[in-house]
Amino acid sequence: MSILQLKKASIVGLSQDKTDILDALQGLGLLHIIPLQDVSSRRVNDTEDTNPELLKRSLQYLLSSPQKRRQVTREQQFDLDKVLHEVDHNRQHRIRLSEKRDFLDKRIKDLEPWGEFTLPDLADLNHERLWFYLVPNYKIQDVEQSHLPWTVVHRDNRHAYVVAIAEQEPQASIMPVPRTHTGHIPLNQLKEQLEDAEIQLEAVEAEREALTRWIFLLQQSVASTEDKALLDDISDQTQNYNELFALQGWVSVRDSAQLEAFAENKGLVLLLDDPIDSENPPTLLKNSIAVGGGQEVVSFFQTPNYRSWDPSRVVFFSFVSFFAIIMSDVGYSLLFGAILAWYWKSMARSESGRRLRAMGVALTGAGVFWGALVGSYFGASAPISALGQLKVFDLNDFDSMMALSVSIGALHLILANLVMAWVRRSSNQALSSVGWAVSVGSALMGWLTDFTMTHWVVFGLGLTLVLLFSTPAKGFGVARLISGLLALANVTKIFGDVLSYLRLFALGLASASLAITFNQLAADVGDALPGIGFLLHILILLAGHLLNFVLTVVSGVIHGLRLNLIEFYNWSLADEGYPFQPFSKQEVTPWIT
């Protein structure tokens, strides 16, 4: 059980010390605050020296820089307002230069087919003007019928670039297309302006890179701003009694001694009480890094209720197993491990990353192990005979693989119901969950070994428990019977949920079949086309296996999670909770590029 037990802490102190006490409590980071007053969300104070939005925008702008400098960690060298002004000026200047460069680049591409030219003065053409038209080749005969002086200065496979001479712009009925606006700036000047813009943009990018040395201190400023806003919100949620204030929150039993020492040191009154049945405390999960990836998945999908159980470990091992079965290939598993190794250091920057990294190691190991058991190495047989001897299962043995998948599903749901029975151990409803587990187990054994009277009797006994104990109501009246009959309707649901695990076999077989198909296709092309066939052979193998690898990983993640978070959760978690959110300050870790 990795849901930590909580106590409700009630703290009373002097109002004159409230700000200092709350700041110290925020530094401890032990309490999940219980609001004693309803307050609306705090608005940003326009009179603050630093605009929080500008601060976040500037930080995000620097974080998106491709190259970053070594970080400055000493605040003595840091002038926040000056840095924000420089960053914002750099950002706006970069936007203007980027827009100018893009405009010039497009204008040059549009003008290049017309060639290098300078518009003459009106007096040189007897006050006539030049008009430019981009005419599709099939409409050039319409230009010939216009009776205007014109010429084609360039032609490609789609258009003719036509220049006409007239004192006024020709009417739309004369020319087949609207005129093209070329501007009055010659092509060579546009190229010079583009070069100047790109040089300036490079200088702005260099200035931006230089400003990235302030990222850490800006992150600290953002954290400080958000910590201050949170502190103000919590201050509004306390109850004030003349010269006293009161604060309540949830604290884990393991941290209660530290909170008691804090209260004694600050001269505070502290009361610690166990939660009563009518209260719904938050859920504080605690798992080791090794299996913490399961907690990340559980927290993302649904937080279990405080009085329920933590499915993190079960989800971890079952997801790893399901992913390996769907992958069903040693080569793909090793490729997955290589990608994990590539991101190994970057994933170490956060606790969530370290947890998911540990799960990635387990996924790789389980995939290699199962891939060896089914004897698949990028869709081919084992490269050496010693590895071939490890093959135990045959993916093409449909009966055996279907039996294995259904057995995994049945055992998974049996575990879910047994856990639910343990959670409901103080209620008669626990017997209903036991009944489902007994029914599924007897049905599985009967299916695997041919049904006998014993299997049917045990199956009926399990459904009887479901019928009689699906409601917490006492007595055996009509209400209990109706509730039990409604619960028995879930027989079809649990049957469908068990069959849903057949996707493990189906997806594993699909992955292996695609790998074999790409191998055979590459071999056929290589044999049919000597010389260049070898190159095509390699390209087909790379493209085919890369595509199959991506599809397999996506399938493994989606369906591996689905079987845990839908089928398994439906039978093991009844109530949803909400996460424990400590009243704490943000931590910013310095990093060096």
Instruction: Tell me what pLDDT residue 591 has.
Output: 57
Instruction: Give the Å distances, CA to CA, from 350 to 63, 355, 361, 491.
Output: 17, 9, 17, 44
Structure tokens at 36: 């004693």
Instruction: Tell me what pLDDT residue 89 has.
Output: 94
Q: Considering the entire predicted model, what is its pTM?
A: 0.76
Sequence ranges of the domains in the chain? 7-37+237-284, 120-183
User: d(Cα 582, Cα 25) in Å, to the nearest integer?
Assistant: 10
Instruction: Tell me what pLDDT residue 47 has.
Output: 41
Task: Of 234, 237, 226, 238, give the one whose Cα is nearest residue 44.
Answer: 226
pLDDT in tens, 306-349: 988 999 999 999 999 999 999 999 999 999 999 999 999 888 88
Instruction: Tell me what pLDDT residue 46 has.
Output: 45
Whether the Cβ atoms of residue 84 and residue 58 lie closer than 8 Å to each other: yes
**Residue 89, number of CB atoms within 10 A of its CB:** 12
Instruction: Tell me what pLDDT residue 192 has.
Output: 93
Instruction: Tell me what pLDDT residue 563 has.
Output: 92
The torsion angles phi and psi of 585, rounded to 5 degrees, stand at -95, 150
Strand pairing of 6-14 and 129-136?
unpaired
Task: Of 104, 59, 113, give the one whose Cα is nearest residue 196.
Answer: 104
User: d(Cα 302, Cα 574) in Å, to the nearest integer?
Assistant: 11
Structure tokens at 366: 């389980």
Instruction: Tell me what pLDDT residue 589 has.
Output: 67
Q: Report the half-sphere exposure of 249 (CA within 13 A, side-chain side).
A: 27
Instruction: Tell me what pLDDT residue 96 has.
Output: 95
Left, alpha or beta for 50 (phi > 0: left; psi -120 to 50: alpha)? beta
| SS3 assignment, position 106 | helix
Instruction: Give the Å distances, CA to CA, from 580 to 6, 32, 33, 356.
Output: 10, 6, 9, 21
- Domain 7-37+237-284 carries which CATH code? 3.30.70.260
Question: Kind and range of the H or E element at 445?
Answer: helix 430-449
Q: What b/e string do you get for 365-380 counting C-beta neighbours within 10 Å, with b at 16 or more? A: ebbbebbbbbbbbbbe
User: d(Cα 269, Cα 84) in Å, to the nearest integer?
Assistant: 44
- Residues of the chain scoring pLDDT < 50: 1, 43-44, 46-47, 592-593
Task: Of 387, 265, 190, give the one whose Cα is nearest residue 11.
Answer: 265
Instruction: Give the Å distances, CA to CA, from 138 to 111, 131, 159.
Output: 22, 20, 8
Question: Kind and range of the H or E element at 361?
Answer: helix 351-374
| SS3 assignment, position 290 | coil
